Structure 1
Amino acid sequence: MSKREEHVEKYARDLREKVGIEPDLDLLREVTIACGPSIYRRDSETVSTSDTGELDAVRDDFLIGKLGLPDDEHLMGGIQQAIRTYGRDNRSKYRPVLYYLLVKHFGKEGAFR
């Protein structure tokens, strides 16, 4: 199994155990690929959801830049919903898992197919 596949399996396990959903592995794999090499660095693999600068980057770089969503007040609301879904108590929020939840929330699966 490749390193990337090991990461995809780890993220899928997180979705099953912490979120309670069975992930679409093909979509999760594509979202993981979109994260690039950040998944291989411990501090960039996770998102600090208490850091507003980091949440702004998620909005600007992923939601607007990658998914092509318009910049409006709904984006931060979607990010907050994804954080609640993932669980505020979960200290390590993996970037690909959070991005996967955002893709599902905004119905943008087509951006990866």
Structure 2
Amino acid sequence: MAKDWIEDVKKYAPKADDAVLESMLKTYRLTLSNADAAYVSFSDEEELKTVRENFLKKKLGLTESDEKLEAAIAEIGAKMKDGSKNGRLAVYYLLAEKFGKLGVFK
């Protein structure tokens, strides 16, 4: 299972840091084991609010405006719009990378 999540990230970030991915995988293992929670729905406003509040603000400690954070989430959603499910680990990795916060997981 872990390999699948890491491969999912590497579709969008081929040079993703393996140590960061392993750390994120440990952090979110329980979430990823739940079929509903393992994916991010970019069309669900409550889901996007959760990503903004719990991941970007709480986990990464970002203080940017909600508008800027929502724009970043939308940008990642557009990048991942290839018809496949949007794995939470990939979304989180790409957002952490965008904001220069991969170190949070080292």
The TM-score by the shorter chain falls in which range?
0.7 to 0.9
Higher RCO (Cα < 8 Å, 6 or more apart):
2
CA distance in structure 1 between the aligned counterparts of 2:94 and 2:17, rounded to whole angstroms? 11
- The alignment covers a number of residue pairs equal to 105
RMSD between superposed Cα atoms in Å:
1.6
Q: CA deviation at 1:55?
A: 0.3
Runs of 4+ in 1 over 3 A off after TM superposition: none
Is contact 1:15–1:22 with CA below 8 Å preserved after alignment?
Answer: no
CA distance in structure 1 between the aligned counterparts of 2:52 and 2:8, rounded to whole angstroms? 22
Identity %: 30
Equivalent position of 2:103 in the other structure:
110
Q: CA deviation at 1:23?
A: 1.9
Gaps of 5+ in 1: 1-5
Gaps of 5+ in 2: none
Q: CA deviation at 1:82?
A: 1.3
> Is residue 72 of structure 2 the alignment partner of residue 74 of structure 1?
no
> Is residue 6 of structure 2 the alignment partner of residue 12 of structure 1?
yes
Equivalent position of 1:3 in the other structure:
none
